[in-house]
Structure 1
Amino acid sequence: MPSLFIATVLVPTAIATVYFVLSSNVFTSESRFVVKSSEKRSSGGLGALLKSGGFTNASEDAFVANDYMISRDALNALNRDGLVSRAYGNKNVSFLNRFNGLGTNGSNEKLYAFYQDQVEVKYDAASGIATLKVKAFDPVEAQTINRRLLDQAEALVNRLNRRGREDLVNYSGAEVADAKEKARAAALALSDYRNREGVVDPEKQATVQLQMISKLQDDMISTKTQLVQLQMLTPQNPQVPVLRARIAELNREIAAQTGLVAGNQKSLAASAAQFQRLQLESQLADRDLAASMTSLQEARNEARRKQTYVERIVQPSLPDNAAAPKRLRGIISTFIVGLVMWAISSMLLAGVREHTD
């Protein structure tokens, strides 16, 4: 029995005592932040409070920030000046706790696995608040890592936000440039056609020509009436040949003017179809340009509205007391567990002995 008590109680308790005595203190720096947007909807609680101020929780961006903090990219950025290596691989830290304490494998993957155990991010979907906890063996280093992670997450959100705004505006700007080129080409095609065919607006010019033909026809009717009257009253009147010559001239003029309106390939009627097509293309291009410019302005306004921010609710704390290890509690817990194991083992051995006897 004494040997069993020693094996199950005293030895584990002694080992736990040595471990907890040799273990280094672990300090935890805590901060809280929220990623908020001026556009997206939010839920109740703190989200409703932020919404009343013109902002709402941006849960997607919050998840991005949270995942980034425990990523390899975040570790690499933190460790550019050796901060993480110094904080967790310091020779002043007990070999039982520090990174690569036995000096066997100090690879980046091992450092990343160790880093993941030291950084914890929890996100409350109801309030939109994320809590960042960083453990280190020095309180200042824990606070420094916490602060840098917040800075890096904020830079990431700002970069994504800026990229989204630029893509939105650049796409609309490219549409405006394309619409401008099409409108310019359509206007040049219409101008070239007017200069080549010598017409400004076939429909308006045809109206003028028709009005002229109508006047000529009125003159024709009037002249013919006069001729009929003179032939009935005074057939030998010298005005009769004059009126006949005038009628012939009016006929030629009416035919010429009618030919300008319709009847040959150079007439206004023939030019109207091509002119209308070019004019329609120019009008459509102008409308597309106006719509694209409106879209560009809307995109700029939308880009200004789509702002996402990382707001720190609680700044990274500077711990003045070690969060771990709980030495006395750990030793007592080991002792109690040993006693339980000793009692169970003693009863089992007693039962075996009685069965043997």
Structure 2
Amino acid sequence: METTDEEFQKPFDRYYSAVIDFLKKSWQERRNFIIIVIFPLLFLSFYYLLIASNQYESEAHFVVRSDGQNAMPASGLGQMMGALGSAGGSQTEGVSVNDYLQSHDVVAKLQSQLNLVEMFRRPEADIFSRLWFANPTPEMLLKYYLNHVKVKYETETGITNVKVRAFRPKDAYILAETLLKLGEERVNDMNKRRYESAVGVAKNQLEQAEDKIAEIQLAITHFRRGDQDLDPRITGETQIKLVSQLTAQLAQARAQLDAMKETISPDSPQYIAQKQQVASLEAVVNKQKSLMTNGRTSMVTGLGSYEELRIRQEFAAKRYESAAASLVKASETAMRQKLFIIRVVEPNMPVKSTYPKPIVTIAGTALVLMLVYAIGWLIVAGTREHAA
């Protein structure tokens, strides 16, 4: 029996249909895997192996401490740093410096000193890694800066780690060195504000005491000029001594006069002379006593005003001494609490690029993508099974 062309063609049609069905089924089963895993890995491999620019990292470590700090670090490396005099530093100041090095202020200073934008737009930088805009906004520049500069404060040791990535080794080194200098400037500003805060009150009190002393001294000078008396106390003592002497002479003259009454006549020239001497002494004593006690311009009134000024002067002098001692103490305390930065590790000049890390990045991405695909496949398979 002869076979027709149609019968001869049937095996080939069945084989062709089977191949097409297999390819369709194979593509449908592998399409999601290729889209979710293979294509991204191919693109990532192409970028990291052929396009990505080398990036160099410079690292530095420092601590913030003060002379008056005695607290020892907790353990480990912090105990080793104890040889630097409790080099763990104050946690508050260390955290504040850490925060400052990641702020808009530092980015603005770096831009003015180093032209940070140009540093992040080097010609050798690839299009995906470089800073895209030549005139970025401050927020955009800060975000890019934080992607390339990492500042981490270790609470246990007090050490701050600074890591800087750039497209040139020298750029990374200069940027890390400048960050340390800016941190030192920040600490110096903190010292200045702390010193002014601690010493300012004591200085004001001392200035007030000086003004008060000057005011009282001027009042004493005016008093001496007005009364034409350099020291009323000495003048008073002299006056009292003079009155005492005159009183003694008067008593003696009276005694002589009483004795003469018994021996000679009251009309005798000797008796009359002695009587006149007693009267003269009485007049002088009364006058000197009047100068001491009577009237607004008396010696007692002047001495009282002068003593008041002297008491005020002594009180102002004690106040001045106390203010001066407070100023010295405040200055010493401020000096003991003065902060400074100790460089534990100086910035290094990179020789070999450390970024990007293509093998690690591709392998990690592949693992994540396969996990995502596996989770999605399980969800879809469970949904289908539940629907069936």
Assess, with a 3 A threshold, how the Cα gap between structure 1 residues 218 and 25 changes in structure 2: closer, same or farther: same
* Shift of residue 240, structure 1, vs aligned partner: 2.6
Q: Secondary structure at the match of 1:218?
A: helix
Q: Secondary structure at the match of 1:264?
A: coil
Assess, with a 3 A threshold, how the Cα gap between structure 1 residues 212 and 354 changes in structure 2: closer, same or farther: closer
Assess, with a 3 A threshold, how the Cα gap between structure 1 residues 337 and 233 changes in structure 2: closer, same or farther: closer
Counterpart code for 1:51: G
* Shift of residue 259, structure 1, vs aligned partner: 0.5
* TM-score normalised to structure 1 length: 0.83
* Shift of residue 313, structure 1, vs aligned partner: 1.2
Query: Within 5 Å, which residues of 2 pair with 1:38-77?
Result: 38-44=67-73, 45-46=79-80, 48-51=82-85, 57-77=89-109
Match of 1:36 in 2: 65
Return the alpha-carbon distance in structure 1 between the equivalents of residues 222 and 368 of structure 2. Answer: 99
Deviations 1:310-347 (A, max 9, x none): 22111112334443333223333333444444444445
Assess, with a 3 A threshold, how the Cα gap between structure 1 residues 266 and 3 changes in structure 2: closer, same or farther: closer
Counterpart code for 1:271: G
Return the alpha-carbon distance in structure 2 between the equivalents of residues 279 and 34 of structure 1. Answer: 55
Match of 1:228 in 2: 258
Return the alpha-carbon distance in structure 2 between the equivalents of residues 351 and 166 of structure 1. Answer: 71
Return the alpha-carbon distance in structure 2 between the equivalents of residues 89 and 280 of structure 1. Answer: 75
Deviates more, 1:177-186 or 1:70-79: 177-186
* Shift of residue 105, structure 1, vs aligned partner: 8.1
Deviations 1:154-187 (A, max 9, x none): 2332344356557767776665555444433322
Match of 1:253 in 2: 284
Deviates more, 1:73-82 or 1:299-308: 299-308
Tell whether 2:159 aligns with 1:129: yes
* Shift of residue 252, structure 1, vs aligned partner: 1.0
Which of 342, 345, 359 does residue 328 from structure 1 map onto?
359
Deviations 1:46-88 (A, max 9, x none): 5532227xx7834444333322211222112222265422332
CA RMSD of aligned residues (A): 3.3
* Shift of residue 92, structure 1, vs aligned partner: 2.5
* Shift of residue 211, structure 1, vs aligned partner: 2.8
Return the alpha-carbon distance in structure 1 between the equivalents of residues 196 and 72 of structure 2. Answer: 29
Assess, with a 3 A threshold, how the Cα gap between structure 1 residues 335 and 297 changes in structure 2: closer, same or farther: closer
Which of 17, 26, 34 does residue 6 from structure 1 map onto?
34
Counterpart code for 1:89: R
Contact 1:39-1:305 within 8 A present in 2 as well: yes
* Shift of residue 41, structure 1, vs aligned partner: 3.6
Q: Secondary structure at the match of 1:10?
A: helix
Query: Within 5 Å, which residues of 2 pair with 1:1-357?
Result: 1-21=29-49, 22-44=51-73, 45-46=79-80, 48-51=82-85, 57-80=89-112, 83-100=115-132, 106-162=136-192, 164-165=194-195, 179-235=209-265, 238=268, 239-294=270-325, 305=336, 307-355=338-386
Contact 1:43-1:127 within 8 A present in 2 as well: no
Structure 1 unaligned blocks of 5 or more: none
Deviates more, 1:282-291 or 1:206-215: 282-291
Contact 2:117-2:134 within 8 A present in 1 as well: no
Return the alpha-carbon distance in structure 2 between the equivalents of residues 8 and 140 of structure 1. Answer: 40
* Shift of residue 302, structure 1, vs aligned partner: 5.5
Deviations 1:187-212 (A, max 9, x none): 23212212321333334333332333
Q: Secondary structure at the match of 2:272?
A: helix
Contact 1:35-1:311 within 8 A present in 2 as well: yes
* TM-score normalised to structure 2 length: 0.77
Deviations 1:109-134 (A, max 9, x none): 21111111211111223322111111
Structure 2 unaligned blocks of 5 or more: 1-28, 74-78
Assess, with a 3 A threshold, how the Cα gap between structure 1 residues 233 and 77 changes in structure 2: closer, same or farther: same
Of all paired residues, the percent bearing the same amino acid is 25
Q: Which has the higher contact order (CA 8 A, sep 6+)?
A: 1
Contact 1:17-1:331 within 8 A present in 2 as well: yes
